[in-house]
Structure 1
Amino acid sequence: METGGFSLENNDILIRVRYALDIKDNDMVKIFKLGGLEVSRDEVKKMLTKTRDSYEDEAVPEEDDDSFKINNSKLESFFNGLIIFKRGPQEQKPGQPDQTPAALKSNEPVNNMLLKKLKIALALTSEDMIDILAMAGVTITKGELGALLRKKGHKNYKECGDKYARNFLKGLAMRYRG
């Protein structure tokens, strides 16, 4: 499924989502807080700096030592906060736990979670997602998309490759930034 290219780093994902949705630094701090993670504006700036690992064959800038590598837990906190930021807090049902348990393990790929959380945060339909991917030149069927949005362990679950994730973020930028 993957066709060459480089692997998406969590910092790259955060940078691309921030750009696509035109999120300001102060809002980034709020979003992380809504997701249960306290970060300062300076920490956000460091997160939005490419990490040394994300420079493939490019020259790595000297100031790169200032970057802050984002783990899966922090990225998931950001997406959970983004959902609340965009859609408002969810009403608690009786007997429901206060916090959503982390769905990602530290070494799991984040691409499927990225698609699911952005679909929820931006209230996208499957057709919207197919259109966004099409804007980036990727054709996907509703069935293929459904497999990417399934829960891991489901018989029809399919792992989302970096090609889909990268192009979804590219299409998102085209849709929201013109």
Structure 2
Amino acid sequence: MDKDAELIKKLKDTTLKDKAFSALLEGYQERLYWHIRKIVITHENADDVLQNTFIRVYKSISNFQEKSSLHTWMYRIAHNESLRFLEKNKNKSYANIEDLSSTHLEILFEDVYFNGDEIQIKLHTIIANFTEKQKRVFQMKYFDALSFRKISEILKVSESTLKSTYYAAVKIIEEKIMN
């Protein structure tokens, strides 16, 4: 039995659930944090969304049908929680998408946890101007090093569409970095 299968079994056992959940937190907290952070931008928001993600995981682990890996299932929950957070907070008024992108960049660059050099700042600036779909796919593939298959399971989009989106984003980055 692999490590995740054993962990899932313990998580579904009410007598072992709390101890197993601590192991789950230890194994996945940082990876999920950075996935969420790329979507919600700030450390504080990422912490809130991460907490909501793990609450949802804890409450729904008994319903996990194991049709995907534990990793993929939790990424999907984290992704959906991040989108819920953004949806809930979108009522902040911005004149247009450029204002929203520049506001997010200002927040990122002022964040004490961001220590990017010039090329990283340029990369984040380019990514901020992507469509939401391009941004999510690029971040999951490039920063999280997820396979197209896993991204497909998380986002419920075909692999060929993801590849097309990702390589279009890479081309945009290459063109803009060289300028």
TM-score between both structures, scaled by the size of structure 2: 0.32
More helix by percentage: 2
Q: RCO greater where, 1 or 2, for CA within 8 Å and sep 6 or more?
A: 1
